[in-house]
Amino acid sequence: MVSAIQRDPLFMKVRRVILEAIQSGQFAQGNLLPPEKILAQEFQVSRATVRNALQSLEDDNIIRKQHGVGTFVVPENSRLKMRIDKVKGFYQLIGDSGYEPSIRKTEMSRDLIPDRLSEILEVPRRSEALILKRTFMGDGKPAIDLCEYIPVNNLSSEPQPGEVPDSVFEFADKFCPDRIEYTITEIIPTTVSISVAEAMGLPRNHPILKLEEVHFNRTDKPMIFSEIYVNDRIIRFTVFRTRVSFI
């Protein structure tokens, strides 16, 4: 059956193996998954770990729980691939797309915030920011090119080389006085610049999807700005819309 899981984060590793079993047909579409107890024994983890992994898959409409029956695999043609309304780290986004995530490089520097971002982040012009540049990979291929601006006044401490978490949300938890409560994303079709083309291995002026994200704390104060270029050969998003009734 499915091999046991040993590396952290544990529930994400369990999730990935279950997802691989679904994609390979080991857990067939429309069929029930084994009970939590059986999965926990197979993976040699707790039922709580399995429950968290299943909840994550259910959030993405890959599986569905039916009271009194069990948990079954949602058929492919009924499944939402990548919901952009779900706030996740890029490791999880790449993993959800069926690829093994990794980071090719992380560059960390200090510089002045561009004037346009000063307005977005509501800081004085010529404020200083910690700038993080990273390229996230999927199966060794560039998937996401990311540049994040964190005003130094929004830091409670500054990371040392090798201490930068994979996720901006974990970064804020560790190095900012407030956690990120929500994110607003603007989606911009564009073409790649020279630097992005080199990072992503794409021809110059190749069409690409750009995301500009502003991350806010619980008092609606902007904390971090993220500029993201997404390789749509690896990651594609689905927007889930519901009908609003007006009375």
pLDDT at 87: 52
pLDDT at 29: 78
Q: What is the mean pLDDT of each run of 10 residues along the chain (247 residues)?
A: 52 88 84 91 91 84 82 69 56 79 89 95 95 92 94 94 87 94 90 88 88 93 95 73 54
Strands (E), the chain: 63-66, 70-73, 101-112, 128-138, 141-151, 182-191, 207-216, 222-230
pLDDT at 104: 85
Question: Which residues neighbour 194 within 8 Å (Cβ) at sequence distance 6 or greater?
Answer: 204
H runs (alpha helix) in 67-183: 90-96, 115-121, 168-175
pLDDT at 5: 44
pLDDT at 77: 52
pLDDT at 114: 94
Is-cis flag, bond preceding 9, omega within 30? yes
Q: Are 214 and 120 in contact (CB under 8 A)?
A: yes
pLDDT at 99: 84
DSSP state of 75: P
Class of CATH domain 10-78: mainly alpha
pLDDT at 242: 56
pLDDT at 80: 46
Task: Identify the CATH homologous superfamily for domain 90-230.
Answer: Chorismate lyase-like (3.40.1410.10)
Q: Where are the domains of the chain?
A: 10-78, 90-230
The first and second tokens of residue 135, run together, are: 């390229």
pTM here?
0.65
Centre a 10 Å sphere on the Cβ of residue 228 and count the other Cβ atoms it contains: 18
Rounded to whole angstroms, the Cα distance separating 150 from 212 reads: 14
CB crowding 8-32: b at 16 or more within 10 Å, else e: eebbbbbbbbbbebbeeeebeeeee
Q: What are phi and psi of 6, to 5 degrees?
A: -130, -25
